[in-house]
Amino acid sequence: MSYAPNTDADRAAMLRTVGVESIDDLFVDIPVQHRDPTLDLPPALPETDVIRHLAELGARNATSSDLPSFLGAGFYRHFVPALVDQQLLRSEWYTAYTPYQPEMAQGTLQAMYEFQSLVCDLTGMDVSNASLYDGASALAEAVLLCRGLTRRPRVVIADTVHPAYRDVAATYVSALDVDLHVVSAACRDATSVRPDLQPLVNAIDDQTSCVVIQRPDFLGMVVDPDPVIQAAREHGARVVVVVGDPVSLGLLVPLGDLGADIVVGELRSLAGPPAYGGPGAGMFAVRSELIRRVPGRIAGRTMDLDGKNAFVLTLQTREQHIRRERATSNITTNQALVTLGATISLCALGRRGLREIAEQSLTAAHRAAEALAGAGAVIASDAPYVNEFAVHAPGGAAARLERLRKEGNVLAGIDLGCVSPTFDDLILVAATELTTADDVEALASAWAQTQ
């Protein structure tokens, strides 16, 4: 079974047209000693059985219905309206490809243009591309853009940028002449943590191509980035801002207004459930003067021969299929379907809906913090936050998280030891508009129970 419709009679007739006797004759260019290996695969399963098998695998994972979850760190469980998935299951969207033939792909192209417009509205930037793979590779591409633009070797990156994003950026530049300099942007005392941008400011010099910060930062904190932006301006460095939770954009001052040159982030939370971390969608937005250096697809508005409004992939001379080794990036396929989901979601939520879920997320996080404090926890975040904060875990975050899960039946958060070993007694807790009062009660009582 291969979903192939041809019958043996069809095949026989087609082989006659081709002028060969058997299908084997079509594979004669393969070295004979390596032809026709036996593949060691399990037997084929009919639809019913494969669904059952996958359901069994799924049953061995805990979903948010099984365990109250306060996990965030780039993937947030937000409300995605029902119409989103109904649209994503439309064949015209998901079984099409990159709109190489614009006359047959106006739907995809206009949706891309609307996505780009929404990203610009949310971020305050001038230009957005049609997406990159995920937040992490979007950051890596931003670093590459700044290197190409400034021809400077140094990248200053705050340690409060998502650690996996930092790692991916390091991988992307590993074969290039780039000095990726990770600088502390948060300081500790015994039980708390607060932003401290001074080391970042000090690290920016005339060899710095860009400085990378996150907002809200990986610890959830919101801090005025102005000192960093001013220092970057003084030294001719660019400012790259990673967005923590995209829903926070409904509440916070647009990053373009703050002086960002490039804004990147992960948009999966707007389009669907976390799906174990992928497929995501990397947001990539810039100031207009950088448009010709942007990686990936961009949809543009134009007209057809009759003067009718139409959309087309534009500025393609940036791209690998035209420019080859001189392209701005090697990216081809991006995350179009995920960005379509985010687009529809943002349109259905609209101006008020996005603001409401952002405010509800903020409320849920602050109520969760209060409940934890009531259960004896010390809230470590010594800075304003939207929907993610740090809690002090005496004796270590990892051990406490394990007890909270095993004894308290709650996924309470993430061990912040991944940011820096000095943070390994901090737990990162996220809440959203889907966090219920019962979830918060479960978290607080689990905390009290595991003192």
Partner 1 sequence: MTDEPLIYDLSSPGRRGVRAPLPQFEPVDPTEALPTSELRTDLPLPEASEIDVMRHFLRLSHKNHSVDTAMYPLGSCTMKYNPKVNEVTARTPGLADIHPCQPPATAQGALELIYELEALLASITGFPAVSTQPAAGSQGELCGLLSILAWHQSRGEARTQVLVPDSAHGTNPATGTMSGLEVISLPTADDGGIDLQNLKERLGPGAAAIMLTLPSTLGLFERRILEVVELVHAAGAQVYCDGANMNAMLGRVRPADLGIDVMHLNLHKTFSTPHGGGGPGAGALAVQAHLEPFLPGPRVVRNGEVFELADPPPTSIGRVHSHLGNFGNLVRAYTYIRSLGAEGLREAADDAVLNANYLRASLSDDYDLPYDRICMHEVVLAGTRQRRLGVRTLDIAKRLIDYGIHPPTIYFPIIVDEALMIEPTETESRESLDNFIDVMRRIAREAESDPDKLHDAPVNAPVRRLDEVTANRRPNVRRVPEGGD
To the nearest whole angstrom, how small is the minimum distance from the Cβ of residue 225 to partner 1? Answer: 10
Tell whether residue 420 is a contact of partner 1 (CB under 8 A). Answer: no
Tell whether residue 41 is a contact of partner 1 (CB under 8 A). Answer: yes
To the nearest whole angstrom, how small is the minimum distance from the Cβ of residue 443 to partner 1? Answer: 13
Interactions with partner 1, residue window 1-20 (CB under 8 A): 1-6, 10-11, 13-15, 17-20
Residue 432 CB partners (closer than 8 Å, separation 6+): 72, 76, 77, 78, 79, 247, 357, 360, 361, 364, 387
Q: Residue 81 burial (CB < 10 Å; 0-12/13-18/19+)?
A: middle
Tell whether residue 160 is a contact of partner 1 (CB under 8 A). Answer: no
To the nearest whole angstrom, how small is the minimum distance from the Cβ of residue 305 to partner 1? Answer: 4
Binder of partner 1 out of 262, 364, 412, 442 (CB under 8 A): 364
**Cβ–Cβ contacts within 10 Å for residue 189, how many?**
9
From 150-158, 200-208, 340-348, 419-427, give the range in contact with partner 1 by CB under 8 A. 340-348
Tell whether residue 324 is a contact of partner 1 (CB under 8 A). Answer: yes
Binder of partner 1 out of 270, 342, 349, 427 (CB under 8 A): 349
To the nearest whole angstrom, how small is the minimum distance from the Cβ of residue 224 to partner 1? Answer: 7
The helix-helix angle for 437-449 and 336-374 (nearest 10°) equals: 50
Cα 152 to Cα 112: distance, rounded to the nearest angstrom: 33
Q: Which long-range contacts (CB under 8 A, 24 or more apart) does 92-98 make?
A: 93/337, 93/340, 94/337, 98/297, 98/313, 98/332, 98/333, 98/336
To the nearest whole angstrom, how small is the minimum distance from the Cβ of residue 240 to partner 1? Answer: 16
Residue 62 or 449: which CB sits closer to partner 1? 62
Q: Residue 68 burial (CB < 10 Å; 0-12/13-18/19+)?
A: buried
Interactions with partner 1, residue window 219-248 (CB under 8 A): 222, 224
CB 282 within 8 A of CB 272: no
Tell whether residue 206 is a contact of partner 1 (CB under 8 A). Answer: no
To the nearest whole angstrom, how small is the minimum distance from the Cβ of residue 244 to partner 1? Answer: 13
Tell whether residue 151 is a contact of partner 1 (CB under 8 A). Answer: no
Residue 206 or 321: which CB sits closer to partner 1? 321
To the nearest whole angstrom, how small is the minimum distance from the Cβ of residue 393 to partner 1? Answer: 15
Distances (CA, A) of 248 to 109, 132, 345: 27, 20, 15
From 35-43, 152-160, 186-194, 239-247, give the range in contact with partner 1 by CB under 8 A. 35-43
Tell whether residue 366 is a contact of partner 1 (CB under 8 A). Answer: yes
CB 288 within 8 A of CB 399: no
Binder of partner 1 out of 186, 229, 231, 336 (CB under 8 A): 336
Return the structure tokens found at 395: 């004796």
Cα 24 to Cα 409: distance, rounded to the nearest angstrom: 58
Sequence letter at residue 88: L
Tell whether residue 308 is a contact of partner 1 (CB under 8 A). Answer: yes
The overall longest dimension of the chain from CA atoms, in Å, is: 82
What's the DSSP call for residue 133? S
Interactions with partner 1, residue window 388-407 (CB under 8 A): 401-402, 405
Tell whether residue 164 is a contact of partner 1 (CB under 8 A). Answer: yes
Binder of partner 1 out of 234, 275, 289, 449 (CB under 8 A): 275
Tell whether residue 21 is a contact of partner 1 (CB under 8 A). Answer: no
Tell whether residue 278 is a contact of partner 1 (CB under 8 A). Answer: yes
Cis peptide before 153 (omega within 30 of 0): no
What's the DSSP call for residue 307? S
Residue 202 or 323: which CB sits closer to partner 1? 323
Tell whether residue 131 is a contact of partner 1 (CB under 8 A). Answer: yes
The helix-helix angle for 135-150 and 163-172 (nearest 10°) equals: 50
Interactions with partner 1, residue window 83-102 (CB under 8 A): 83, 85-87, 89-102
Tell whether residue 114 is a contact of partner 1 (CB under 8 A). Answer: yes
